[in-house]
Structures are given as structure tokens and as C-alpha cells.
């Protein structure tokens, strides 16, 4: 979780923000690479949350704090994606939010309602 929060998601977020300033995501290859990286990252988050919630022996307050931190970093990335003027990147952000909610919604608990 630490690596995802402090390496993976800040790198992807800076990729999105830099691309909006430099307009280099108009290259279809770069856009495709970002979509793939973002999708794999969200799948990793989904699997991580599901596996942590499933293992009741290791689950404690620190795990809950780590999951909340992870979700905050994910939402910063997806927020940056949704704000993009490129339709493809904005759609990826929306799709990733939807996937994250559908795949981990039951594990997130009632306190988020």
C-alpha cells in the first residue's frame, strides 16, 4: 500500500497533469499506455482492498487507515483524469471509479454511506 500511495499514484497523477499542459497525450500510443496503466493500477487497488478485508486475522485499525489513505490517493488520480479535456482519458477516469465501486463497494463498509 505504501508503494502505491507514494510512488504509483503520484506518478500517474503527474503523468495526467503534465499531459494536459504539454498536450503530448494526443499521441494515441501514449494515451493507450496511460489507459492501460491506470486500469491495471485500479485493478491492483481493488484486489488489495478485497484481500485485506477478507483476512480477518490481520485486519485492524492500521489496515483501515491504510485503506483510507489508498482510496484518497486513488481519488486524486481519478479526479485528475475526469477533469481532462481529452474524452478518452476522462472516460477512463469514470470507468475506473465505476469499477472500483462495483468491485470493492461491499468491502468498504457502512461507515461510508
Chain segment 48-80, per-residue pLDDT in tens: 988 888 776 666 778 888 888 999 999 999 999
Q: Is pLDDT above 50 for 113? A: no
Query: For the purposes of burial, counting CB atoms within 10 Å of the CB of 7, is it exposed (0-12), middle (13-18) or buried (19 or more)?
Result: exposed
Average pLDDT of the chain to the nearest whole number: 84
80-89: average pLDDT: 86
Highest mean pLDDT among 6-15, 48-57, 104-113: 6-15
Q: Is pLDDT above 50 for 25? A: no
Lowest mean pLDDT among 11-20, 34-43, 63-72: 11-20
Percentage of residues in the chain having pLDDT higher than 90: 40
Q: Cell numbers at residue 57, please?
A: 486475522
Q: Is pLDDT above 60 for 112? A: no
Q: Is pLDDT above 60 for 111? A: no
Q: Is pLDDT above 70 for 88? A: yes
Amino acid at each position: 500500500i505504501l508503494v502505491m500511495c507514494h510512488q504509483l499514484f503520484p506518478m500517474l497523477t503527474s503523468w495526467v497533469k503534465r499531459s494536459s499542459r504539454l498536450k503530448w497525450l494526443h499521441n494515441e500510443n501514449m494515451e493507450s499506455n496511460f489507459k492501460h496503466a491506470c486500469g491495471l493500477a485500479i485493478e491492483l487497488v481493488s484486489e488489495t482492498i478485497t484481500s485485506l478485508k477478507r483476512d480477518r486475522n490481520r485486519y485492524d485499525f492500521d489496515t483501515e487507515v491504510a485503506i483510507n489513505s489508498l482510496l484518497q490517493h486513488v481519488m486524486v488520480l481519478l479526479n485528475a483524469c475526469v477533469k481532462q479535456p481529452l474524452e478518452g482519458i476522462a472516460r477512463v477516469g469514470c470507468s475506473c471509479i465505476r469499477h472500483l465501486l462495483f468491485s470493492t463497494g461491499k468491502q468498504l463498509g457502512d461507515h461510508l454511506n
